[in-house]
Amino acid sequence: MAKQDSKYKLVGAPYPSLEKGKNVELRQTNYKVSDAATYDTSVTTACKYPKEAVMMLDYKYTDEGSKLFYYGVPGTTYTMNGSDLQLTDAVVNNDKKLPVSQFIKKHLMDASAFYRGEEKKIIPLSPATIQATEVWDKAGTSKMLPQIKFTAEENKEVTSIYNEMNTYINEMYLKFIMGQEPLDKFDSFVNELKSIGLDDILKIYQTAYERYQSN
Protein backbone atom coordinates (compact mmCIF):
# COMPACT_ATOMS: atom_id res chain seq x y z
CA MET A 1 0.00 0.00 0.00
CA ALA A 2 2.82 2.41 0.85
CA LYS A 3 4.22 1.94 -2.67
CA GLN A 4 0.87 2.96 -4.15
CA ASP A 5 0.23 5.93 -1.86
CA SER A 6 3.07 8.01 -0.42
CA LYS A 7 0.72 9.35 2.28
CA TYR A 8 -0.12 5.87 3.54
CA LYS A 9 0.81 5.36 7.19
CA LEU A 10 -0.02 2.46 9.46
CA VAL A 11 -0.23 3.12 13.21
CA GLY A 12 -1.43 1.15 16.20
CA ALA A 13 -4.58 2.53 17.81
CA PRO A 14 -5.11 2.20 21.59
CA TYR A 15 -7.76 -0.08 22.99
CA PRO A 16 -11.08 1.80 23.18
CA SER A 17 -12.20 2.95 26.63
CA LEU A 18 -15.60 4.03 27.91
CA GLU A 19 -13.93 6.84 29.85
CA LYS A 20 -11.44 9.18 28.21
CA GLY A 21 -7.97 8.78 29.66
CA LYS A 22 -8.84 5.67 31.68
CA ASN A 23 -6.61 2.66 31.16
CA VAL A 24 -8.30 -0.46 29.83
CA GLU A 25 -7.79 -3.63 31.85
CA LEU A 26 -8.54 -6.00 29.00
CA ARG A 27 -6.41 -6.81 25.97
CA GLN A 28 -6.01 -9.36 23.21
CA THR A 29 -3.03 -11.16 24.75
CA ASN A 30 -1.63 -11.36 28.23
CA TYR A 31 2.05 -12.13 27.67
CA LYS A 32 2.57 -12.79 31.37
CA VAL A 33 0.24 -15.78 30.96
CA SER A 34 0.70 -16.79 27.34
CA ASP A 35 -1.97 -18.43 25.23
CA ALA A 36 -2.09 -22.13 26.16
CA ALA A 37 -2.69 -23.12 22.55
CA THR A 38 0.51 -21.36 21.55
CA TYR A 39 3.07 -22.29 24.18
CA ASP A 40 1.80 -25.08 26.43
CA THR A 41 3.34 -28.42 25.48
CA SER A 42 2.72 -31.90 26.82
CA VAL A 43 3.47 -35.54 26.05
CA THR A 44 0.30 -37.61 25.70
CA THR A 45 -0.26 -41.24 26.62
CA ALA A 46 -0.51 -41.99 22.89
CA CYS A 47 3.14 -41.04 22.36
CA LYS A 48 5.19 -44.10 21.31
CA TYR A 49 8.46 -42.55 22.44
CA PRO A 50 7.72 -40.55 25.63
CA LYS A 51 11.33 -40.66 26.83
CA GLU A 52 12.66 -39.21 23.58
CA ALA A 53 9.85 -36.62 23.52
CA VAL A 54 10.77 -35.38 26.99
CA MET A 55 14.44 -35.31 26.01
CA MET A 56 13.54 -33.04 23.08
CA LEU A 57 11.52 -30.75 25.35
CA ASP A 58 14.45 -30.58 27.77
CA TYR A 59 16.80 -29.74 24.87
CA LYS A 60 14.62 -26.75 23.94
CA TYR A 61 15.46 -25.22 27.33
CA THR A 62 19.21 -25.52 26.86
CA ASP A 63 21.23 -22.62 25.45
CA GLU A 64 21.87 -24.51 22.21
CA GLY A 65 18.30 -25.70 21.83
CA SER A 66 16.67 -22.34 22.52
CA LYS A 67 18.88 -20.69 19.89
CA LEU A 68 18.02 -23.39 17.34
CA PHE A 69 14.27 -22.96 17.87
CA TYR A 70 14.31 -19.16 18.00
CA TYR A 71 17.14 -18.17 15.62
CA GLY A 72 17.53 -21.16 13.34
CA VAL A 73 20.68 -22.95 12.21
CA PRO A 74 24.05 -21.55 13.35
CA GLY A 75 26.11 -20.38 10.39
CA THR A 76 23.00 -20.14 8.20
CA THR A 77 20.75 -17.68 10.05
CA TYR A 78 23.06 -16.50 12.82
CA THR A 79 26.67 -16.50 14.00
CA MET A 80 28.28 -16.00 17.39
CA ASN A 81 30.85 -13.24 17.90
CA GLY A 82 32.09 -14.13 21.33
CA SER A 83 28.97 -13.96 23.50
CA ASP A 84 27.11 -11.77 20.99
CA LEU A 85 24.62 -13.37 18.62
CA GLN A 86 24.35 -11.77 15.18
CA LEU A 87 21.97 -12.53 12.34
CA THR A 88 23.63 -13.35 9.02
CA ASP A 89 23.49 -11.07 5.99
CA ALA A 90 21.40 -13.72 4.22
CA VAL A 91 18.68 -13.02 6.78
CA VAL A 92 19.04 -9.27 7.32
CA ASN A 93 19.34 -8.49 3.58
CA ASN A 94 17.35 -11.44 2.29
CA ASP A 95 16.59 -11.74 -1.41
CA LYS A 96 12.84 -11.82 -0.73
CA LYS A 97 13.01 -8.27 0.68
CA LEU A 98 10.96 -9.45 3.65
CA PRO A 99 11.18 -8.09 7.19
CA VAL A 100 13.65 -10.14 9.22
CA SER A 101 10.91 -11.26 11.64
CA GLN A 102 9.02 -12.83 8.71
CA PHE A 103 11.92 -14.25 6.70
CA ILE A 104 13.63 -15.98 9.60
CA LYS A 105 10.54 -18.04 10.48
CA LYS A 106 11.16 -20.36 7.52
CA HIS A 107 14.33 -21.53 9.31
CA LEU A 108 12.97 -22.12 12.80
CA MET A 109 10.04 -23.31 14.88
CA ASP A 110 8.94 -20.40 17.03
CA ALA A 111 6.08 -22.29 18.65
CA SER A 112 5.41 -24.55 21.62
CA ALA A 113 7.30 -24.31 24.90
CA PHE A 114 10.98 -23.34 24.95
CA TYR A 115 13.19 -20.70 26.52
CA ARG A 116 12.87 -17.28 24.91
CA GLY A 117 15.71 -15.13 26.20
CA GLU A 118 16.49 -11.44 25.96
CA GLU A 119 18.52 -12.07 22.80
CA LYS A 120 15.31 -12.10 20.78
CA LYS A 121 15.55 -8.31 20.82
CA ILE A 122 18.21 -8.54 18.08
CA ILE A 123 15.48 -9.26 15.54
CA PRO A 124 14.77 -5.76 14.19
CA LEU A 125 11.22 -4.45 14.18
CA SER A 126 9.79 -1.74 11.97
CA PRO A 127 9.07 1.67 13.56
CA ALA A 128 5.34 1.05 13.03
CA THR A 129 5.55 -2.28 14.88
CA ILE A 130 7.43 -0.72 17.79
CA GLN A 131 4.95 2.16 18.00
CA ALA A 132 1.96 -0.20 17.95
CA THR A 133 3.49 -2.48 20.57
CA GLU A 134 4.13 0.46 22.92
CA VAL A 135 0.54 1.66 22.54
CA TRP A 136 -1.06 -1.76 23.01
CA ASP A 137 1.18 -2.58 25.97
CA LYS A 138 -0.39 0.24 27.97
CA ALA A 139 -3.56 -1.82 28.40
CA GLY A 140 -3.79 -3.77 31.64
CA THR A 141 -4.64 -7.43 32.19
CA SER A 142 -6.52 -7.51 35.50
CA LYS A 143 -9.86 -8.28 33.78
CA MET A 144 -8.49 -11.07 31.59
CA LEU A 145 -9.57 -14.65 32.09
CA PRO A 146 -6.75 -16.93 33.34
CA GLN A 147 -5.82 -20.21 31.63
CA ILE A 148 -8.76 -22.25 32.81
CA LYS A 149 -8.99 -25.95 31.99
CA PHE A 150 -12.09 -27.87 30.88
CA THR A 151 -13.00 -31.43 31.72
CA ALA A 152 -13.23 -33.84 28.76
CA GLU A 153 -17.00 -33.55 28.75
CA GLU A 154 -16.92 -29.74 29.00
CA ASN A 155 -14.39 -29.52 26.21
CA LYS A 156 -16.54 -31.71 23.96
CA GLU A 157 -19.59 -29.51 24.51
CA VAL A 158 -17.68 -26.23 24.11
CA THR A 159 -16.11 -27.43 20.85
CA SER A 160 -19.45 -28.55 19.48
CA ILE A 161 -21.14 -25.22 20.20
CA TYR A 162 -18.18 -23.10 19.12
CA ASN A 163 -18.04 -24.68 15.67
CA GLU A 164 -21.51 -23.46 14.79
CA MET A 165 -21.21 -20.22 16.74
CA ASN A 166 -17.93 -19.12 15.14
CA THR A 167 -19.29 -19.70 11.65
CA TYR A 168 -22.19 -17.37 12.40
CA ILE A 169 -19.99 -14.80 14.20
CA ASN A 170 -17.51 -14.58 11.31
CA GLU A 171 -20.34 -14.16 8.83
CA MET A 172 -22.08 -11.38 10.76
CA TYR A 173 -18.81 -9.72 11.81
CA LEU A 174 -18.01 -8.87 8.20
CA LYS A 175 -21.57 -7.82 7.43
CA PHE A 176 -21.59 -5.36 10.34
CA ILE A 177 -18.22 -3.90 9.31
CA MET A 178 -19.13 -3.59 5.62
CA GLY A 179 -22.51 -2.04 6.41
CA GLN A 180 -24.45 -4.95 4.93
CA GLU A 181 -26.23 -5.33 8.25
CA PRO A 182 -27.24 -2.27 10.35
CA LEU A 183 -26.03 -2.13 13.95
CA ASP A 184 -29.61 -1.87 15.18
CA LYS A 185 -29.78 -5.61 14.44
CA PHE A 186 -27.07 -6.32 16.99
CA ASP A 187 -29.60 -7.46 19.60
CA SER A 188 -30.95 -9.96 17.08
CA PHE A 189 -27.38 -11.12 16.53
CA VAL A 190 -26.94 -11.73 20.27
CA ASN A 191 -30.26 -13.55 20.50
CA GLU A 192 -29.19 -15.85 17.68
CA LEU A 193 -25.95 -16.61 19.54
CA LYS A 194 -28.01 -17.51 22.60
CA SER A 195 -30.16 -19.85 20.54
CA ILE A 196 -26.96 -21.58 19.33
CA GLY A 197 -25.72 -22.06 22.90
CA LEU A 198 -24.03 -18.88 24.18
CA ASP A 199 -25.51 -19.22 27.67
CA ASP A 200 -24.33 -22.83 27.86
CA ILE A 201 -20.80 -21.72 26.91
CA LEU A 202 -20.83 -19.03 29.60
CA LYS A 203 -22.02 -21.52 32.22
CA ILE A 204 -19.18 -23.94 31.35
CA TYR A 205 -16.61 -21.14 31.51
CA GLN A 206 -18.00 -19.99 34.87
CA THR A 207 -17.77 -23.51 36.27
CA ALA A 208 -14.21 -23.91 34.99
CA TYR A 209 -13.25 -20.50 36.40
CA GLU A 210 -14.65 -21.33 39.84
CA ARG A 211 -12.76 -24.61 39.74
CA TYR A 212 -9.58 -22.67 38.89
CA GLN A 213 -10.19 -20.25 41.78
CA SER A 214 -10.64 -23.08 44.28
CA ASN A 215 -7.30 -24.72 43.44
Say what the pLDDT of residue 174 is.
92
Q: Which domain holds residue 188?
A: 152-214
- 164 and 107 share one domain: no
158, part of any domain = yes
- 125 and 76 share one domain: yes
Count: domains in the chain = 2
- 129 and 82 share one domain: yes
- 87 and 169 share one domain: no
- 128 and 167 share one domain: no
- 126 and 178 share one domain: no
- 123 and 160 share one domain: no
Report residues of the chain scoring pLDDT below 70: 30-40, 110-112, 116-122
- 128 and 172 share one domain: no
9, part of any domain = no
51, part of any domain = yes
pTM: predicted TM-score of the whole model, two decimal places = 0.58
- Pick from 95, 110, 136: which residue ends a domain? 136
Say what the pLDDT of residue 50 is.
96
- 128 and 158 share one domain: no
Say what the pLDDT of residue 97 is.
87
- 97 and 159 share one domain: no
Say what the pLDDT of residue 36 is.
46
Q: What is the pLDDT of residues 31-44, one digit of tens each?
A: 655 554 456 678 88
30, part of any domain = no
**Residue 89: CATH number of its domain:** 3.40.190.10
- 68 and 117 share one domain: yes
SS3 for the chain, per residue?
CCCCCCCCCCCCCCCCCCCCCCCCCCCCCCCCCCCHHHHCCCCCCCCCCHHHHHHHHHHCCCHHHHHHHHHCCECCCEEEECCEEEECHHHHCCCCCCCHHHHHHHHCCCCCCCCCCHHHHHCCCCHHHHHHHHHHCCCCCCCCCCCCCCCHHHHHHHHHHHHHHHHHHHHHHHHHHHCCCCHHHHHHHHHHHHHHCHHHHHHHHHHHHHHHHHC
203, part of any domain = yes
